[in-house]
Structure 1
Amino acid sequence: MQNENKRIARNTLLLYIRMIAMVIISLYTSRIVLKVLGEEDFGIYNVVGGIISFLGFLTSSLAGAASRFITYALGKEDNNNLKKTFNNIILIHLLFAGLILIVGETIGLWFIKTQLNIPPEREYAAMWVYQMSVFTAMGGLICAPFNSVIIAHEKMSTFAYLSLSYAILKLVSVFILLNINYDKLIFYSIYIFIIQVFDFALYIIYCKYNFEETKRIILTKIDKNLFKEIFFFAGWTMSGSLAYFGFTQGLNILLNIFFNPIINAARGIAVQVQNIVNTFNNNFLMAINPQITKKYAAGDYSRVKELIITSSRFSLYLMLLICIPLFLEVNLVLSWWLGKYPQHTDSFLRLILITSILSCLANPIITTVHATGRMKKFQLIESSILLTIVPIAYFCLKLNTSMPEIVFIIHICIEIIAQCARLKIVLPMINMTIKEYTSAVMKKIIIVILLAPILPIIIYYNTEQNFLSFISICITSTISILFCIYTLGLDQHEKNTIKEVINKKIYHRQKNRS
């Protein structure tokens, strides 16, 4: 267990180093892209590209299935089954890539041309954005199994380096955008497609050279029973992914229908910040999720429980460290980053940050149900709950079209209901009671959430908003959150572990000095 914890810590550190570099690049490129494209074109890029990303629920669900079955096979230590699993996964992904092409060039194309609110003079550029999005989605689907193999083998250093290559190439697009006379929206969509294809190729080449199961793919030799098992698992995860993409892109489309592309630009900026914030949580979970699946495959349910409790609490604590100062100083951060930004961006971002905090509790539970393979009941109930977000938001907007924030408030409320349902379904699968989970996770995090922001809020409302106040809020937030976590948010074993680590560090330093 100690070696596993060290591996998780090492992989998490590597992913955070990758993330810091990517965040810096992303913040800079987003600022310049918004400035160069303008609010209207930036909004068009987000809403039109978002239509085909709605079909990304296929990529998300199939990637989840691929990751689960590959990691499960690794946990069973069965190389022959691992090779068969990968072959079946590749065939399924190729079939669905064809489906994306068919749906994208029929229903999706009709929707773009007839339903969206796009200025007539930008329709041609919007079509370029859409077509590039279709081909990117297909490439992402074909590449997803190779990505899953890297993560399942816990080769996080490689994953970090390959991800950085895409971020660096995206940074290059900024300098080109500033110096071309061609339609910048069209150029940007084509360029992003090209560098994503290059990124996909790097993943595939690396896997071909390093993992035995990917070296020889024979699509004619398919295990029908395994194909069926993976296909039906993917089908059930697909309903969950469909619900997620349904309400995220559904809300984006509703904002376009009831308002205009500038509101989509505000949401697009808020979502970009959310994606950056979520990488902190996702990096931690990416390091720990393979362990949950492998331990379940090995029948070590007590370790699975421990991983769920640890990942739920610590991912949320980590998110609080980022979200509390950002929530308070959102206007200052946006003005530093973008200068001028669309109206409603600040309120959208604050509400979206709350959903990010809630997702910290959902992710370990979803990983666990994937590990069990018992998806039907879970996905039917979770998807049904989440899909109510769009119709409820539609009726609320019909009643009051002056408050676009209502769609995000509805999302928060429905997400809380969905999490209650997840716990009720999944915890019995690993012999864990609601009482155990509440005691180990909920009681501790609620206390931390309620008490940690008090001091930063007092400082925020009693100081002028400037660089010094931002620094003071960041410092006091960190101190307040860490104090609350250590005194109220950890169990005694975790406190003792931290003390041991600190004492060892002090001992080694004193020994080295002497």
Structure 2
Amino acid sequence: MKSSNKTIAKNTIFLYFRMLFTMIVSLYTSRVILQKLGVDDYGIYQSVGGIVGFLSFINSALSTGSSRFLTYELGRENFQQLKRTFSTTLTIHIVIAFFIVLIAETFGYWFLENKLVISPERIGAAKFVFHISILTAVFALTQVPYNASIISHEKMSVFAYMSILEVSAKLGIVYLLSIGNWDKLKLYSILLFLVQITLMIIYRIYCRIHFNETKYQFIFDKKIFKQIASFSGWSLFANASYALNSQGILILLNMFFAPAVVTARSISIQINMAALQFINNFRTAVNPQIVKRLAAGNTDGSKELLLSSTKFSYYLMFMICFPICLYTYPILKLWLGVVPEYTVIFVQLIIVQSLFQVFDTSFYTALYAQGRVKENALISPVLGLIRFPLIYFMFRAGFSPVVLSWASLITYMILGLFIKPFLITKYAGYNWKDILKVFYPCVYTTLVAIPIPIIIVLTIPINNLFFLFLNLFSTLIITLISVWFVGIDKALKHKIKYYVQQKIHR
């Protein structure tokens, strides 16, 4: 147990180092790319990429299934079965990649030409980006088993090093966009494609050298296929709903509004993904241990780790989201220079939504570890499937684009507070007492933390950069104090104090 906790801590540090570096560079590159492409071209790229992204929702479902079964075989130390699982998984991905190309180049191409609001002079560039995006999606799909192997072996440092390489390459993209007289949108799509292909090749070389099971053989084990299909089939339904309400929403926006509105929504999604990355890094380090403890028969240890990690996931997210929500406009102005219309309200609502997403994704791990994803796939995605047509008809009726943010917020509130807790109490061996032990500290910590920063933001105007950073820092400190005194129990405080004292005395 002590060894596994050290592994979690080590992997979390690697992943956070990766995240901080990539986030700093991404803040810079996003600003420059928005300025170089312009608000409309940036929106076109997001809309066109959204078509391919929607068709690639299979990627996420299969990634979850691949990682789960590879991790489970590692936990059982069944290395022969591990090899067969990897090769069968990769075979499945190759076949699916072929069908994605077929659908994208037929229906997807027709949709691009006939349904999206794109000016005639930019339709040629949009089609070019579309074809490049399809190629990128195909390679990304066949990459899934390799990334799943890295996660299963808990070699998170690899992701950290590769992220440094990736963001460095994106700095090069920013430089190339700044010179020459090429079509910026076409050039941007080509350069991103080359970066992604290079990274995938490096990942595969690393896996072949370090993990024996990743030496691919043409194997199609029907038994393994049925297990993965059964598991991922339900995840597929869930991810289809998610894709419909993420990439699909961007497409929907471009059907009713100008590309500039798509840009505003894309910026809010980027901020949401950056915030969620804090939690996903932590969960990526923790989740393999939850599965392995369960596979080894340590049910109580698996349960305890999930519940405690859920609380800390919320605290991490709250410390990020609360300051951003309070100071959205000055942060966006500092970051982007130009703040497109609707961006502020989009960001604020999606930031609140991300707090509820913490419970949704964390509690899902309990179902994922048990292999009980069928129930989740039958209940949770239904909300998404209802939400999408509802937004469509509201747009047709002339409603503001902001209604989609309110719909998403309410959906994740229901998922995180009611549906996922119900599912894990019914199918994963948890009870409502366990759930309330997570909810109560999170609620109390939030209620204690919010009054003083809200008073500060209402009474102290942001006249310059100094006051912005001062207010952000004070909000963060108040939040940390609330977490320490309200959110953490005495036993854990004692452990933290003891650990710090040991490090100081060394």
- 1:325 matched residue in structure 2: 323
SS in 2 for 1:387: helix
Instruction: Choose which of 354, 362, 365 in structure 1 pairs with 2:363.
Output: 365
Alpha-carbon distance between aligned partners in 2 of 1:260 and 1:49, rounded to the nearest angstrom: 16
- 1:273 matched residue in structure 2: 271
- 1:442 matched residue in structure 2: 439
- 1:152 matched residue in structure 2: 152
| Structure 2 CA distance for partners of 1:427 and 1:299, relative to 1, 3 Å | farther
Instruction: Give me the TM-score of the superposition, normalised by structure 2.
Output: 0.97
Does 355-364 or 30-39 show the bigger shift?
A: 355-364
SS in 2 for 1:117: coil
Q: Does 1:455 align with 2:452?
A: yes
- 1:189 matched residue in structure 2: 189
Deviation at 1:487, TM superposition (A): 1.5
Instruction: Give me the TM-score of the superposition, normalised by structure 1.
Output: 0.95
Alpha-carbon distance between aligned partners in 2 of 1:214 and 1:66, rounded to the nearest angstrom: 12
- 2:402 matched residue in structure 1: 405
SS in 1 for 2:188: helix
**Contact 1:236 1:376 survives alignment (8 Å):** yes
| Structure 2 CA distance for partners of 1:242 and 1:448, relative to 1, 3 Å | same
Does 464-473 or 354-363 show the bigger shift?
A: 464-473
SS in 1 for 2:181: coil
Deviation at 1:28, TM superposition (A): 0.9
Alpha-carbon distance between aligned partners in 2 of 1:485 and 1:411, rounded to the nearest angstrom: 27
Matches within 5 A, 1:331-480: 331-401=329-399, 403-419=400-416, 420-438=418-436, 440-465=437-462, 466-480=464-478
- 1:218 matched residue in structure 2: 217
Alpha-carbon distance between aligned partners in 2 of 1:317 and 1:376, rounded to the nearest angstrom: 29
Q: Does 1:65 align with 2:65?
A: yes
Q: Does 1:264 align with 2:269?
A: no
**Contact 1:266 1:344 survives alignment (8 Å):** yes
**Contact 2:360 2:412 survives alignment (8 Å):** no
Does 409-418 or 497-506 show the bigger shift?
A: 497-506
**Contact 1:386 1:418 survives alignment (8 Å):** no
Does 88-97 or 416-425 show the bigger shift?
A: 416-425
Matches within 5 A, 1:476-487: 476-487=474-485
Number of residues of Structure 1 aligned to a counterpart in Structure 2: 504
Cα RMSD over matched residues?
A: 1.4
**Contact 2:59 2:144 survives alignment (8 Å):** yes
Q: Does 1:488 align with 2:486?
A: yes
Deviation at 1:56, TM superposition (A): 2.2
Task: Give the counterpart letter for 2:36 in structure 1.
Answer: V
Alpha-carbon distance between aligned partners in 1 of 2:488 and 2:385, rounded to the nearest angstrom: 35
Alpha-carbon distance between aligned partners in 2 of 1:398 and 1:446, rounded to the nearest angstrom: 38
SS in 1 for 2:137: helix
Alpha-carbon distance between aligned partners in 2 of 1:188 and 1:320, rounded to the nearest angstrom: 34
1:470-498 C-alpha deviation (Å, 9 max, x unpaired)? 22222222221122112211223212211
Q: Does 1:299 align with 2:313?
A: no
Deviation at 1:249, TM superposition (A): 2.0
Instruction: Choose which of 312, 315, 328 in structure 1 pairs with 2:313.
Output: 315
Deviation at 1:39, TM superposition (A): 0.6
Alpha-carbon distance between aligned partners in 1 of 2:477 and 2:31, rounded to the nearest angstrom: 30
Task: Give the counterpart letter for 1:193 in structure 2.
Answer: F
1:80-125 C-alpha deviation (Å, 9 max, x unpaired)? 1111110111111111111111111111111111111111110000
Alpha-carbon distance between aligned partners in 2 of 1:300 and 1:423, rounded to the nearest angstrom: 21
- 1:208 matched residue in structure 2: 208
Alpha-carbon distance between aligned partners in 2 of 1:337 and 1:418, rounded to the nearest angstrom: 32
Deviation at 1:369, TM superposition (A): 1.3
Deviation at 1:292, TM superposition (A): 1.3
Alpha-carbon distance between aligned partners in 1 of 2:165 and 2:61, rounded to the nearest angstrom: 25
**Contact 1:23 1:276 survives alignment (8 Å):** yes
Task: Give the counterpart letter for 1:184 in structure 2.
Answer: K
Deviation at 1:331, TM superposition (A): 0.9
Task: Give the counterpart letter for 2:448 in structure 1.
Answer: L
Deviation at 1:386, TM superposition (A): 2.1
Task: Give the counterpart letter for 1:377 in structure 2.
Answer: E
**Contact 2:29 2:170 survives alignment (8 Å):** yes
**Contact 2:154 2:288 survives alignment (8 Å):** yes
Alpha-carbon distance between aligned partners in 1 of 2:105 and 2:207, rounded to the nearest angstrom: 31
Deviation at 1:400, TM superposition (A): 4.2
Alpha-carbon distance between aligned partners in 1 of 2:71 and 2:77, rounded to the nearest angstrom: 10
Task: Give the counterpart letter for 1:84 in structure 2.
Answer: R
Alpha-carbon distance between aligned partners in 1 of 2:486 and 2:420, rounded to the nearest angstrom: 26
- 2:93 matched residue in structure 1: 93
Alpha-carbon distance between aligned partners in 2 of 1:436 and 1:197, rounded to the nearest angstrom: 44
1:184-242 C-alpha deviation (Å, 9 max, x unpaired)? 10111111111111111111010000101012x221x4321111111221111111111
- 1:512 matched residue in structure 2: none
SS in 1 for 2:180: coil
Does 9-18 or 391-400 show the bigger shift?
A: 391-400
- 1:239 matched residue in structure 2: 237
Does 370-379 or 131-140 show the bigger shift?
A: 370-379
Alpha-carbon distance between aligned partners in 2 of 1:372 and 1:334, rounded to the nearest angstrom: 42
- 2:164 matched residue in structure 1: 164
Does 473-482 or 82-91 show the bigger shift?
A: 473-482
Percent of aligned positions with the same letter in both sequences?
38
Matches within 5 A, 1:278-289: 278-289=276-287
SS in 2 for 1:110: helix
